[in-house]
Amino acid sequence: MSALVAEAVSKNFGGVQALSNVSFTVEPGERHLIIGPNGAGKTTMFNMLSGAFPVSSGRVTLFGQDITNLSANARARLGLARTFQITNLFPRLSVMENIVLALQAQSKSAFSMFSRIRADRDLFARAGTLLDEWGLSEIADHAAREISYGQQRQVDLILAMAGKPKVLLLDEPTAGLSAAEVVRVVGMVHSLPQDMTILMIEHDMDVAFDLADKITVMHQGGVIAEGTTEEIRHHPKVTEIYLGAD
Ligand SMILES: Nc1ncnc2c1ncn2[C@@H]1O[C@H](COP(=O)(O)OP(=O)(O)OP(=O)(O)O)[C@@H](O)[C@H]1O
Ligand SMILES: [Mg+2]
């Protein structure tokens, strides 16, 4: 069974048709990249998949279940997580507190007063372990607004993966990063568990080609090509829009 399927998804914003009949399939464990020029509809597609906005028409399924009319929270509870194109941290809270809040939001059980104290301690311990694993412990107590933009994007990624989602949507996690930070974030994506399905929007072709099992190319609200890295690299339509855009 496929992990995530978009079937003929369309979206209008007033008179603007941002998506028209977009279909694609993401298989379990796949590293599936979405590329395409500015305004192609990539982020809008993520909003449809994650439930941020309703579709105008079409259908979305997650492991065979129709999620088209579910709220973003309900989709998250089914194992669908996402990051945003712009960092989404609470600026005044510490990195540790941001991660604890995310873990708390993902933990399903309601706590009594006393079990809550233990639960909070567990959450802080788990947040500490996560920061350790990803080599960011030294910024645990820094306010999110005080760390570098590159570090913020890494924390965004940790938040999204913290709940061990089945399907993770990443919207341009390397945008605006230095070359060294790009290498680091690509490394983080490479080291995610193999059974975690990843759908990622990426501007940098080298990054996309490095990570992808499969690539979907969007342009003007539609899919214009789909295939392996090799197929996309030599695809005449893809070469045309990228050369045309430059
Ligand atoms: N909330 C909205 N209201 C109105 N129009 C929107 C909205 N969101 C997106 N659009 C329009 O939909 C089209 C696709 O935008 P989208 O942000 O999905 O593109 P994108 O491929 O993610 O581009 P980028 O590479 O710049 O991030 C654009 O014409 C955009 O102006
Ligand atoms: Mg976008």
Q: Is the dihedral of CA 143, 135, 30, 204 positive or negative?
A: positive
Q: Which ligand is nearest to the CA of 44?
A: 1
- Position 112 scores a pLDDT of 60
The residue to mutate among 12, 42, 85, 216, having the most atoms of ligand 1 within 8 angstroms of its beta carbon, is: 42
Distance CA(51)–CA(73), nearest Å, equals: 8
SS3 198: strand
List per-residue pLDDT tens for the chain, 246 residues long.
Answer: 999 999 999 999 998 999 999 999 999 999 999 999 999 999 999 999 999 999 999 999 999 999 999 999 999 999 999 988 888 899 999 999 999 988 887 776 555 666 777 778 889 999 999 999 999 999 999 999 999 999 999 999 999 888 889 999 999 999 999 999 999 999 999 999 999 999 999 999 999 999 999 999 999 999 999 999 999 999 999 988 887 654
Dihedral-angle region of residue 67 (phi above 0 means left; psi in -120 to 50 means alpha; beta otherwise): alpha
Closest residue (by CA) to atom 26 of ligand 1? 38
119 CA → ligand 2 middle, Å:
37
Domain made up of 1-79+165-246: CATH architecture: 3-Layer(aba) Sandwich (3.40)
Q: Which residues contact 77 (CB under 8 A, 6 or more apart)?
A: 108
125 CA → ligand 2 middle, Å:
34
Both tokens of 169, joined, read 């949507």
171 CA → ligand 2 middle, Å:
7
Q: Summarize pLDDT for 203-243 with one digit per residue, the tens.
A: 999 999 999 999 999 999 999 999 999 999 999 999 888 87
Q: pTM of this prediction?
A: 0.91
189 CA → ligand 1 middle, Å:
25
Beta carbons within 10 angstroms of residue 80's beta carbon: 26
Closest residue (by CA) to atom 30 of ligand 1? 39
DSSP state, 41? S
Q: Which residues line ligand 1 (CB under 6 A)?
A: 13, 16, 18, 36, 38-44, 85
Q: Which ligand is nearest to the CA of 35?
A: 1
- Position 109 scores a pLDDT of 57
Closest to 28 measured CA to CA, from 211, 172, 199 = 199
Distance CA(217)–CA(225), nearest Å, equals: 5
The domain segmentation of the chain, as residue ranges, is 1-79+165-246, 89-163
- Position 244 scores a pLDDT of 67
Q: Summarize pLDDT for 170-179 with one digit per residue, the tens.
A: 999 999 999 9
Closest residue (by CA) to atom 6 of ligand 1? 13
- Count how many Cα atoms sit within 13 Å of the Cα of residue 229 in the half-sphere of its side chain: 10
Q: Which ligand is nearest to the CA of 16?
A: 1
184 CA → ligand 2 middle, Å:
21
